[in-house]
């Protein structure tokens, strides 16, 4: 049985409340619309996770909530501004075959690039804008066995293509 990973950078966040910490910034109107559209895209394409690993930041949790994903959710501060290596370590403890990770750049974009056997031909993959979502498949049977360069990119989308 192959493993499937969905990597989501949080949707566009608001900078209007300057008194909020970076961790506590919510989504803006465009980000909310993008998160909803991403949720529809995932369901329409059969990319439905069994387990979600989400950064504890407000904008990642709000992105996940608006995507309306029905799965086992683990929210962790370990994914808040984590490096690709740190994210891979968190992923290694996943227990379900289809996992979604919601995080931040530069880590989440770097993780997508480093996991991919080959980079998809898409103009936005390398800069991984807000809401960017990659679906990867791995031949491994345990997340602890997944390593960089082992993932086949199944799909990639940015919210602008969905709105």
Domain boundaries, the chain: 3-11+24-161
| pLDDT (average), residues 32-57 | 98
Q: What is the Cα–Cα distance from 45 to 148, expressed in whole angstroms?
A: 25
List % helix, strand, coil for the chain (3-state, nearest 5).
35, 25, 40
Closest CA to 6 of 63, 49, 57, 65: 49
Backbone angles phi, psi at 57, to 5 degrees: -65, 150
Instruction: Write down the pTM of the prediction.
Output: 0.97
Q: What is the Cα–Cα distance from 12 to 35, expressed in whole angstroms?
A: 9
CATH topology of domain 3-11+24-161: Rossmann fold (3.40.50)
Q: What is the Cα–Cα distance from 11 to 65, expressed in whole angstroms?
A: 11
Q: What is the Cα–Cα distance from 98 to 18, expressed in whole angstroms?
A: 37
Alpha carbon 118 to chain centroid, angstroms:
18
Q: Is the pLDDT of residue 62 over 90?
A: yes
Q: Is the pLDDT of residue 79 over 80?
A: yes
Per residue in 106-127, pLDDT (tens digit) is 999 999 999 999 988 888 999 9
Q: What is the Cα–Cα distance from 95 to 77, expressed in whole angstroms?
A: 19
Strand order across the beta sheet in which 98-103 lies: 72-76, 51-55, 98-103, 3-9, 133-138, 152-157
Looking at the chain, the whole-number percentage of residues with pLDDT higher than 90 is: 92
What is the predicted pLDDT for the residue at 17? 77
Biggest alpha carbon–alpha carbon distance for the chain: 48
Helices (H), the chain: 29-44, 58-67, 84-91, 107-115
Strand partners, 103: 9
């Amino acid at each position: 049985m192959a493993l499937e990973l969905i990597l989501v950078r949080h949707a566009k966040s608001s900078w209007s409340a300057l008194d909020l910490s970076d961790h506590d910034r919510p989504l803006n109107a465009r980000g909310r619309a993008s998160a909803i559209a991403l949720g529809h895209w995932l369901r329409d394409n059969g990319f439905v996770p069994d387990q979600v690993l989400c950064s504890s930041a407000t904008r990642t949790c709000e992105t996940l909530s608006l995507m309306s994903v029905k799965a086992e959710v683990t929210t962790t501060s370990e994914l808040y501004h984590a490096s690709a290596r740190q994210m891979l370590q968190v992923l290694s403890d996943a227990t379900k075959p289809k996992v979604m990770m919601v995080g931040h750049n530069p880590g989440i974009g770097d993780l997508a690039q480093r996991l991919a056997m080959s980079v998809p031909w898409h103009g936005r993959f390398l800069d991984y804008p807000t809401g960017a979502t990659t679906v990867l498949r791995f031949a491994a049977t345990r997340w602890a066995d997944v390593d960089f360069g082992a993932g086949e990119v199944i799909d990639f989308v940015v919210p602008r293509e969905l709105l």
